[in-house]
Amino acid sequence: MAQFDKKIQKIGVYTSGGDAPGMNAAIRAVVRVGISQKLEVYGIHNGYVGMIENKIEPLQLRDMANIIQRGGTILKTGRSTEFMRPEGRARAAQNIKNLGLDALVCIGGDGSFRGAHALWEEHQIPVVGVPGTIDNDIFGSDKTIGFDTAVNTALEAIDRIRDTAASHDRLFIVEVMGRNSGFIASHVGLAGGAEEIFTPDANTTVEKAIDRINEAKSRGKTSSIIITAEGQKPGRAYDLADAIRKKSGMDAKVCILGHQQRGGSPTAADRILASRMGAAAVDALFKGYCDVMIGTEGERLIQVPLDLVYKNEKKNQLDLISLASVLAT
Amino acid sequence: MAQFDKKIQKIGVYTSGGDAPGMNAAIRAVVRVGISQKLEVYGIHNGYVGMIENKIEPLQLRDMANIIQRGGTILKTGRSTEFMRPEGRARAAQNIKNLGLDALVCIGGDGSFRGAHALWEEHQIPVVGVPGTIDNDIFGSDKTIGFDTAVNTALEAIDRIRDTAASHDRLFIVEVMGRNSGFIASHVGLAGGAEEIFTPDANTTVEKAIDRINEAKSRGKTSSIIITAEGQKPGRAYDLADAIRKKSGMDAKVCILGHQQRGGSPTAADRILASRMGAAAVDALFKGYCDVMIGTEGERLIQVPLDLVYKNEKKNQLDLISLASVLAT
Amino acid sequence: MAQFDKKIQKIGVYTSGGDAPGMNAAIRAVVRVGISQKLEVYGIHNGYVGMIENKIEPLQLRDMANIIQRGGTILKTGRSTEFMRPEGRARAAQNIKNLGLDALVCIGGDGSFRGAHALWEEHQIPVVGVPGTIDNDIFGSDKTIGFDTAVNTALEAIDRIRDTAASHDRLFIVEVMGRNSGFIASHVGLAGGAEEIFTPDANTTVEKAIDRINEAKSRGKTSSIIITAEGQKPGRAYDLADAIRKKSGMDAKVCILGHQQRGGSPTAADRILASRMGAAAVDALFKGYCDVMIGTEGERLIQVPLDLVYKNEKKNQLDLISLASVLAT
Amino acid sequence: MAQFDKKIQKIGVYTSGGDAPGMNAAIRAVVRVGISQKLEVYGIHNGYVGMIENKIEPLQLRDMANIIQRGGTILKTGRSTEFMRPEGRARAAQNIKNLGLDALVCIGGDGSFRGAHALWEEHQIPVVGVPGTIDNDIFGSDKTIGFDTAVNTALEAIDRIRDTAASHDRLFIVEVMGRNSGFIASHVGLAGGAEEIFTPDANTTVEKAIDRINEAKSRGKTSSIIITAEGQKPGRAYDLADAIRKKSGMDAKVCILGHQQRGGSPTAADRILASRMGAAAVDALFKGYCDVMIGTEGERLIQVPLDLVYKNEKKNQLDLISLASVLAT
């Protein structure tokens, strides 16, 4: 966390990393709160890519019309390898300064915040972060923008798959997003009534899963759903299906939900979260705070230093997985 | 809050008051956690009506199959005037005792908890409450079961209405549920990008609303949506439309969303909340706690004495309404 | 039906009357098929209002990006009393001629086609009609654009209401759109499992409805849903509820679904229908046909003279209502 | 087609092959129309598997409550290799006769109808077929039960994926169901605005797809979606992505929508189609017709001899693919 003492007049906003539903609501909040406070607000396209390539344009109130309900990000997003190098960041910083932007709001995840922190450390550009990622794996915030929507999208798919599983007396393995994190898997698993949940952090084993399914069968349950986070690479569900087949002879169908989890109209919770966080980010800049992320703690908004955010790992709620296990009996 | 020192073996569960999506998920959690702990669990039908009429039946694991995703309540609900009288409660208590039920879980709102408290006070029947109502107006819990679903259902309707409003350059007044409370209105209004929000607790006036709409028009916005909570009686939106017409000559179309806000498959958040609360209720009874409600404070579950719950009023987040106002510019 | 022998080079497209989901998909088809055939395509705003006020602008391929999935109409719609008078039409026709538009595509309903016919009769402006209305009450086409979406939107609401009806053992009267037509009511009633369906053309009576509900009760059914078309004015459901109460003592809850039935992202069927019809309209103009509407007969597209369309009334499928009655037993 | 002259008193109904949304609505119609005509109706579980294993039970009016809106099939379905052999069919036929069932209604696809035809040919058991499959690939019927729902489910996923594609300027290849048939792909592709559509029957090539995408890029379009039917085996999308990468260097993301397309609450169109077809099947049996399938031709129901159905192949509407190609420019 840091403080700067310049009165801001022009700010920029960008989305970075994977897109998440609700990013548009956050952009809208930054722009409209900013303009209501007499700021000029600029949109930086494609994240750090556009910052380096100087794809930056002024945003007006009317540009924000009719976007609160849209998935994706109207500013587009991107991943820049060039920005990882000091020269890339210097070029980006120069563009920001040339345009006279006094401060930035960065909507993204860990990698994006690392870049934002560097902009402050190396070039004294004040940045406030807003956590936007469907994975919910951001230290310092109970919730991230897009997570609620992604979980509900995955849940709808699972509700549908259960119809087929029940009609055919089948075992399904459904793979949801989450490389290093199991938040989507644990939430969807509990909400979807899954028999077993595999995440990078839970200690579920194939043997336990087979035991549980056999136990369920003995009680008369003829179909089951296992949820797995994608883990190191998409396609983990196929490996799980193989392992289950080899150890038990049971045949499992695989569904990989994939990128549909990223899109779609944001839920009410995500729109509200994004609106509040976007407004709070501008407010923080007004008060001279920077190098922080806006987070939530319960219903309250808090500020967390950016380096704390990306240097720490958020723990998944493993109790949800235990609860799911009891409730799916 | 109170403690009792009997080891429980048989418990009952009931839903009471207005139905809310997620009640089934809560029932499922009570039954499955209960049975996993070797309890017998009984379902009481139609709330206090069934308690008086002795409509009480044992529930098994399999009765809970395939209900987590269903709206409404499989135990049905009801409102009993007889239970408001001591003789009614005595009759209900006698039925509970005749069946040998050691404790109860009550899923409902303020009125239901008042009854639950009386069962403990007058007849020493231990009850734990679980807040289930779409209105979110329960003191002691940030969130109630069903609220998130109701807000999303209303939001979908508003997103649709906006298509028509924009195509016809019209003003719409949309009435959402909430007699004494403005939670749905404020959340839906912010998430739906409404120009103005009327709730029982906010100080919006017809004059202000007209000013805002005229102002929006002068900026080129040709359609607007006003959200209002139903207030004392459904149909308030018609009165608002009349007042606006009289004072400004503007013609407003009215939509009353009505009972569809009560039903539907619960969202992930409501299923998870209900599952956790149902489990926590059984857990509390195991530890000998009663006369309390399970509530949430941020991500954590807490226990709140029942009389505190129904004697206090939960304040709406009026800052959401101010924020909505800035963001709809 | 008529033929004209001018080779078209510039055409205009407009939406008129009530908006319907899928109108954007039809506009997109007209524009993109037109441009692919080297035409210039102009968009006329607010229907005949914009034709009179000369709110007409060229449309490009990119203007059509990302609209196929959006409800409402990007060209907006309107109802013009001025256009009902010869002078109004003359002014509109002059604007069309001044711009050098060779022909028009009109997306709308009966009233819009009456106007289109007049443009041809009085001013020799060739017009092809595309039936866009949620009511499905257009003679000469099995289906109209928007009907499928409206029915599914109403159905979702009814599925939700059924949850509450069942949880409370209640009778609900749900009012769907349709002033002079019962298409939405009959389709939604059958698909929603309604106990009784009131439409302007069916001979359901309050007495019969009461009998059916009592009969259902005697078979153990404790909740019922009645669907009614709005008829002469919205609010008919309240009158029905009163009549039922007076004659039977039964209390009924009323839901008026209202304008949400007009909006929302169009279903696949509506997007496909709109795309095919829009393309066929341009194709018809290319071949020199005008004063016709593109309709469907089963899977095939047909051409129907405009005056036949608005002078005839399309009959509702009353057998759906009888079937619904048998199936709701 | 055949006729039999026994007056029916007891009938059986079963679902067979892949499950499809709307099968429950069809079962409901068979049962309720049957009982309204004083028939006894039996449900055969798991298709031909249950017919052989004698898993057959009487169905009552109340068993049909609340199923019209549910995906899957309450009778479950199955695939029986034993039934493909004469001895298997003999055993099944014996069970039917032992129970005194006079006739059957078979809800399924080509394979199921082949079996139904054999029951009539070899054992004189009258069967009427109802086409239930998401693939729509049944000769003799414009539409099959479940197709409309599957297309809409896939479309929702594609709308979501487009959000991400647009935010990242990416090419996506989305694989929908359809082994030997391209109906889902062509309909979803047109409705979803896909740039290119691969089906088993269309002559799209990787080279053409690359050309189109490059052409779109040159017009400023930065993201594209290709739809492919799964073809011979699920996973074809990966092969396509490889081929595109090798030939053009373009990187494509792959999404395989999978089994979620089978489930979910049926659309209005599917519920209505299923209700009408189920009723018509019982009606046909009453009139002594058998060995036929109920089909649709436009809005009308028709009867088609079972052997015609499974011996012929239904042609996909390739004009939808050409139209999609023009409209995605």
- Say which CATH number the domain at B211 has: 3.40.50.460
One domain for residues B140 and B155: no
Asked if residue D321 is part of any domain, the answer here is no
Contact A281, D181 (CB under 8 A): no
Shared-domain flag, residues C96 and C188: no
The mean pLDDT value for A176-203 works out to 93
Axis-axis angle for helices A268-286, B183-191 (nearest 10): 70
Interchain pair C161, B260: CB under 8 A: yes
Residue percentage of chain A with pLDDT more than 70: 100
Q: What pLDDT digit, counting tens, does each position of C42-72 carry?
A: 999 999 999 999 999 999 999 999 999 999 9
- Tell me, what's the pLDDT at C203? 83
Contacts of D295 (CB under 8 A, 6+ apart): D131, D138, D140, D141, D142, D301, D302, D303, D304, D309
β-pairing verdict for A292-297 and A103-108: unpaired
C112 is in an annotated binding site: yes
- CA distances to C20, C65, D17 from D185, rounded to whole Å, are 25, 21, 21
- Alpha helices by DSSP H, listed for B219-286, are 236-248, 268-286
Assigned domain for A51 exists: yes
Identify the residue among A133, A152, A168, A224 best suited for mutation to test binding to D, counting D beta carbons within 10 A and taking the highest.
A168
Q: Supply D203's token pair.
A: 């002559």
Question: Same domain, yes or no, for A163 and A259?
Answer: yes
Report CB contact under 8 Å: D69, C221.
Answer: no
Q: Which chains reach chain B with 3 or more Cβ–Cβ distances below 8 angstroms?
A: A, C
Of A166, A167, A264, the CB nearest to D160: A264
Whether C8 and C141 map to the same domain: the answer is: yes
pLDDT band at C329 (very low <50, low <70, confident <90, very high): confident
pLDDT at position D232 over 70: no
The pLDDT value given to residue A167: 92
DSSP B18-54: S--TTHHHHHHHHHHHHHHTT-EEEEETTTHHHHHHT
Q: Is residue D172 part of a domain?
A: yes
Query: Which stretches within A178-267 are classed as H helix?
Result: 183-191, 206-218, 236-248
Q: Going along chain C, which residue ranges are E strands?
A: 2-3, 10-15, 40-44, 56-59, 103-108, 127-131, 171-176, 196-198, 224-229, 252-256, 289-290, 292-297, 300-305
SS (H, E, C) D292-321: EEEEEECCEEEEEEHHHHHHCCCCCCHHHH
Q: What is the pLDDT of residues B167-216, one digit of tens each?
A: 988 999 999 999 888 999 999 999 999 999 999 888 889 999 999 899 88
d(CA C229, CA A23) in angstroms, rounded, equals 40
The DSSP code sequence of C27-60 is HHHHHHHHHHTT-EEEEETTTHHHHHHT-EEEE-
Residue matched to tokens 């906010």: B202
Residue B321 is assigned to a structural domain of this protein: no
Give the catalytic positions of B in this structure.
135
Mutate to test the interface with A, among B275, B282, B294, B318 (most CBs of A within 10 A): B275
Of D151, D219, D298, the CB nearest to C268: D151
Min distance B26 CA to chain C CA atoms (Å): 15
Q: Can you give the CATH number for the domain in which C98 is found?
A: 3.40.50.450
Instruction: Return the active site residues of D.
Output: 135
Same structural domain for residues B171 and B132? no
8-state DSSP, B7: P
Minimum CA–CA partner of C67 in chain D: D193
Helix axes B268-286, B23-36, angle to 10 degrees: 40
- Whether the CB of D263 is below 8 Å from some CB of chain A: the reply is yes
Q: Is B287 annotated as a binding residue?
A: no
How large is the average pLDDT for residues C143-171?
95
B155 touching C (Cβ < 8 Å): no
With beta carbons under 8 A apart, name residues in chain B contacting A32: 326-327, 329
Residue B187 and residue B109 share a domain:
no
Residue B96 has pLDDT above 90, yes or no: yes
- The parent domain of residue A246 ranges over 148-263
**Overall number of domains in chain C:** 2
Give the model's pLDDT for residue C221: 84
pLDDT tens, position by position, A23-76: 999 999 999 999 999 999 999 999 999 999 999 999 999 999 999 999 999 999
pLDDT score recorded for residue B174? 97
- The answer, yes or no, to whether residue A191 has pLDDT greater than 90, is yes
pLDDT of residue B222: 84
Q: What is the pLDDT of residues D207-229, one digit of tens each?
A: 999 998 998 888 888 889 999 99
Distance CA C329, CA C313 (A): 32
Percent of residues, chain C, with pLDDT higher than 90: 87
CB-closest option in D36, D151, D272 to C329? D36
Q: Which DSSP category does B132 fall into?
A: B
Whether residues C123 and C210 share a domain: the answer is no
My answer on whether B103 and B169 are in the same domain is no
Q: Where does chain A show beta strands of DSSP type E?
A: 2-3, 10-15, 40-44, 56-59, 103-108, 127-131, 171-176, 196-198, 224-229, 252-256, 289-290, 292-297, 300-305
Query: In angstroms, rounded to a whole number, what is the distance separating the alpha carbons of residues B127 and B140?
Result: 17
D 49-88 → A contacts, CB under 8 A: 70-73, 76-78
The answer to whether D163 faces chain A, any CB pair under 8 Å, is yes
Q: Of A225, A246, A263, which residue constitutes the final position of a domain?
A: A263
| Å between A221 CA and nearest CA of chain D | 13
Whether C7 and chain D come into contact, CB under 8 Å, resolves to: no
B166 in contact with A, Cβ within 8 Å: yes
**D266-298 CB burial, b ≥16 within 10 A, e <16:** bbbbbbbbbbbbbbbbbebbbeebbbbbbbbee
Domain assignment present for residue D318? The answer is: no
Predicted confidence band of residue D150 (pLDDT cuts 50, 70, 90):
very high
User: Same domain, yes or no, for B142 and B197?
Assistant: no
Helix axes A147-168, B268-286, angle to 10 degrees: 80
On the CB side of B6, CA atoms within 13 Å amount to: 13
Decide if D326 is inside a domain.
Answer: no
Task: Judge whether B179 lies within some domain.
Answer: yes
Task: Quick: pLDDT tens for C161-171.
Answer: 998 999 988 99
Residue D317 covered by a domain: no
Q: Are B166 and C72 in contact (CB under 8 A)?
A: yes
**D279 and D238 share one domain:** no
Annotated binding-site residue? B259 = yes
Choose among C159, C297, C327: nearest Cβ to D29.
C327
Is residue C135 part of the annotated active site? The answer reads: yes
Q: E strand or H helix at D277, and its extent? A: helix D268-286
How near does any CA of chain B get to the CA of A300, in Å? 8
**Is B161 in contact with B254 (CB distance < 8 Å)?**
no
Question: Are C187 and C123 part of one and the same domain?
Answer: no
A163, D19: Cβ pair inside 8 Å? yes
Mutation target to probe the C interface, by most C beta carbons within 10 A, among D275, D297, D315 is D275
Whether the CB of B265 is below 8 Å from some CB of chain A: the reply is yes
Closest residue of chain A to D69, computed from CA coordinates: A163
Q: Are residues C62 and C127 in the same domain?
A: yes
